[in-house]
Structure 1
Amino acid sequence: MLCCIVASVFIIIAESVQSFRVAYGQWFFLLEWFFTAIFTVEYIARVW
């Protein structure tokens, strides 16, 4: 889970760079949703 958190933060930081956002914007969007899904599943598992 720690690796997912670090990767998510890295994606957010990389997306803030205009040239990266232009080149990889679609990938950033998909990865952000991927990590959001992982974090949501993990949260639901902890509550359950």
Structure 2
Amino acid sequence: MICARCDRHLKDDEAEPINMAAATGAGTTIYLCKGYCKSAPRQTTPHSIRH
């Protein structure tokens, strides 16, 4: 399992499952750390634009 917020690998006792219901279909389950964790950095713009 991987935390949906910080992208850390989690063991069964470290993960908190969250059921994400969908309007149609089966939905999905995501896992988060039981304690607070920071979001992993994400690239939102191309590197060349930031300069």
Alignment TM-score > 0.5, same fold:
no
Structure number with higher helix proportion: 1
Structure number with higher strand proportion: 2
TM-score normalized by the length of structure 2:
0.30
